[in-house]
Amino acid sequence: MTIGSIPKKHHAPIALVLGRLWFLFDKRHRDITIDNLKKAYQPKENHVETEILAKKVFTNFSRVIFEVCWAMTQRPENMDVYIDRSDIRFIKEALKKKKGVLILTGHLGNWELGPYVPFLEGIKSHAVYRPLDFKPMDRFVIKMRTRLGAELIPAKNALRKIITVLRKNEIVGLLIDQDSDPHNGVVIDFFGRPAFASKGLAIIARQTGAPVVPAFLVRDNERFKFISGPEIPFVRTGDPQKDIEINTQRYNLAIENAVRQYPEQWFWVHRRWKTKVSSPWPRQST
């Protein structure tokens, strides 16, 4: 029996068992997750509460895998009954500007099923994509994302392609919630701590004027809920560097707010504060 053939009603109990086993035996990722949660929530959470939340994180990601494989066995149009798409109105409103839309998103809920939302709404979508090192998994992810008509844009030298897509008034999704190196990122505040965040989205928004709309696909009991919000207006100061820093901060605040709503559904396994900030933050004005 393949994973995809397991009925949806069995995903939660199986993922609970596998998530607990993963948490028990994978010390490296267990330690990363607990450390991240302590950075974000201490001293508000005690050790027991932190460990309970960490176990839920492992269970959530286990469930993501089952859901993705199951979705691959379904007719795409049949996913309509599983996804509450009420918030799609924010993207449709932004598309009226005829500048395309940049979708600000992250590894929250089941991000891999996110492309079903524009597909079901008849909206042409694209996603900036960084190839995976493990080639079999890379081929699987590409197949899964492109079967819905979405086009993948390789992250390297993506700007020209993104501009072309936006001029067609189509949407482009960017996952920007992970650690960045100093060359490709700027320092922002994330959960009260300095962290490097990718500056790519802010650069594109500044250059194109395309609206940026936050959007995530989270689990809501046995269904999914597409949560979004109004366009995040781009702040212009007259200083390009400040523009990038200020707006990257605003984008990451939108991610933080969503994570705070669904903390067990975010990918805390990633070392979000890996790159150290060498100078004090926030910087003092000179």
| CA–centroid distance for 125 within its chain | 15
Model's pTM, two decimal places? 0.92
pLDDT of residue 43 exceeding 80, the answer is no
On the question of pLDDT at 285 being above 60, the answer is no
Q: If we measure between CA atoms, which residue out of 228, 220, 219, 214 comes closest to residue 86?
A: 228
Per-residue pLDDT tens digits for 105-164:
999 999 999 999 999 999 999 999 887 777 777 787 788 778 888 899 988 888 999 999
* Region label for 11, one of left (φ > 0), alpha (ψ between -120 and 50) or beta (otherwise): alpha
Structure tokens at 236: 């212009």
Q: Is 220 exposed, middle or buried (0-12, 13-18, 19+ CB in 10 A)?
A: middle
- Rounded average pLDDT over 166-181: 96
| Residue 190, amino acid | F
Is the pLDDT assigned to residue 44 strictly greater than 80?
no
DSSP 266: B
Least confident piece of the model among 16-30, 44-58, 188-202, 247-261? 44-58
Residue 229 binned pLDDT confidence (cut-offs 50, 70, 90): very high
Q: Dihedral (C-alpha) 155, 160, 163, 167: value to the nearest 10 degrees?
A: -130
With a pLDDT cut of 90, the percent of the chain lying above it is: 78
- The lowest-confidence range among 32-41, 136-145, 215-224 is 136-145
pLDDT bin (cut points 50, 70, 90) of residue 179 is very high
Strand (E) or helix (H) holding 226: strand 223-228
Residue linked to tokens 């207006």: 233
**Pairwise pLDDT comparison (281 vs 138), residue with the higher score:** 138
Task: Please classify residue 69 by burial: count the beta carbons closer than 10 Å to its beta carbon, then call 0-12 exposed, 13-18 middle and 19+ buried.
Answer: middle
* Mean pLDDT, the chain, integer: 92
